Chains A and B, each alone.
Chain A
Amino acid sequence: MLCQECGKKPATLHFTKIVNGEKNEFHICESCARDKGEMIPGSPNGFSIHSLLSGLLDFERTGPGAIQETMRCEVCGLTYPQFSKLGRFGCSSCYQSFESKLDPLFKRVHGNTVHVGKIPKRSGGVIQTKREIDRLRRELITRIDQEEFEAAAELRDRIRELERKAEGL
């Protein structure tokens, strides 16, 4: 079999790339493999998590309705195409700048989009209270469903108290 890239030398590297269920086979020669190094697992240039991510991000970009205008982070200057190539953010503001594109990415990488873990103590007081309120509201609904009105009333008072506290913070 000849290399599918240059069509001149015999293909010595054979691999299959599957992105989102879409399967592609590659048969290429040593020198073309070197040129395309980045995309081939096990090649000297390696196949890093970042190139894997950029595959995911690229898919995003070439999909239907791809955005023509280039998004750019106002703070550090990183553009969305650069982000998708590097697989890394430039600064904490990039998360806001590229916000509209991040849900699908996080969904794919983590299966989730919203943080539920630790909150910084110094700056996180309000968030902690908000989270507690959300939790109590959910509990309130179950109590009402189960017709435990006394417990529900207690929860309602506790929620009001926390809401006042959150406003004060």
Chain B
Amino acid sequence: MSKRRFAEQPLSDWMKGQGPESEIVISSRIRIARNLRTHPFPMLASSQQSLEVMNQLTEVASSGKLSEQGSFETYKLAELSELERRVLVEKHLISPNLANESRNGAVILSDEESVSIMINEEDHLRIQCLYPGFQIREAWTLASRIDDIFEEEADYAFDERRGFLTSCPTNVGTGIRASVMMHLPALVLTQQINRILSAVTQVGLAVRGMYGEGSESLGNLFQISNQITLGQSEAEIIDNLYSVAQQIIEHEKAARQRLMTESSIRIEDRVLRSYGVLSQARIMDSKEAAQRISDIRLGIDLGMIGGVTSQVMNELMVLMQPGFLQQVFGEPLSPEARDIRRAELIRKQLT
């Protein structure tokens, strides 16, 4: 079997684009949850019912309207190998829930992978749009347009008082989850991060560590997203996230500035030390790799390292995960073997 498009490259095409504030904001994402009025939510749907949902929604993808937004490919989860599903999760194109627990699940992917439409996840339909850098409004515009295309064909579950009805009460109303993924090494180094993040949670936003378990952050990456979906309009939700993220960007910039004036030699030492380790190490676990990649990325942003780009660092963050490592080396790997292969792969990328 030939490799599927999405499994060939660790970095989706959309990630290669440049966005505003891309030194700090890696990506912006909108996810919209929708359901059909006619069928029980996926949790309670029979196999027959979820099959009907899948057929009806994938039909929309093959109709003309969606193709105006680009070229799309539909994959049924049941037809993908375990490794392929894992790779999709590692690229954040589908959720672990869709990969492992869905019945008659499917994903519709756009060419450059900036749009991924999940079918029969927790809700019948989840539209996700990803943009590089700080472009949350642009992501919403696109997601809303795709939402309109589905709404023309599908009978949405909508209630005048409660809005769009979702399986989980935390999504009801707009059904929207807006998030930005931020790289905040200077706020972590200067130990301001906890204060800032706890302030963020006070204004109705949630913070998650990216790639880490639960709230632990790997590689100083944090995902900030809205919590409230009912009683605020999409524009309010996005504006709120936008202005908070904007303030965090300013704080991170100020912290970087301060590090450069107060302890530039220490930062340079830290950055180049990490560079040295990554370009020479023979065994590298994912936690250490994430931290050192973060150091190098900071070094690139501060102009301390030339020759590598932040795009290579983005690529490494995806590539170094278990699924992709096995995809690249074409064999199942034990955790020990993964650490050796990871070190090998990183060395190759850096030299």
Contacts and interface: CB of A to CB of B under 8 A. Distances in A.
A121 B148 contact: yes
B51 interface: no
Contact of B170 (A49, A77, A118, A130): A49
Interface string B161-195: 11111111110111010000000000000000000
Q: Which of A78, A88, A111 has the most CB of B within 10 A?
A: A88
Interface in A18-37: none
Contact of A116 (B122, B147, B233): B233
B234 A118 contact: yes
Nearest to B147: A118
Interface stretch (B37-45, B72-80, B126-134, B309-317): B37-45
Contacts of B18: none
A95 B159 contact: yes
B278 to A, nearest CB: 31
Interface string B115-129: 000000010000000
Nearest to B156: A120
Interface in B146-165: 147-148, 151-152, 155-165
Given A53-B170, A87-B168, A115-B163, A106 B44 contact: no
B227 to A, nearest CB: 8
A144 interface: no
A127 B160 CA distance: 7
21 contacts: A42-B214, A50-B168, A89-B168, A89-B169, A92-B37, A105-B169, A106-B172, A109-B170, A110-B229, A110-B231, A111-B231, A112-B228, A113-B230, A114-B162, A114-B230, A115-B159, A115-B173, A117-B237, A118-B233, A120-B156, A121-B148
Interface of A: 42, 49-50, 53, 75-78, 86-92, 95, 102, 105-106, 109-124, 127, 130
Instruction: Give the 4 A-B residue pairs with the shortest CB-CB distance, closest first.
Output: A112-B231, A115-B163, A92-B157, A110-B230
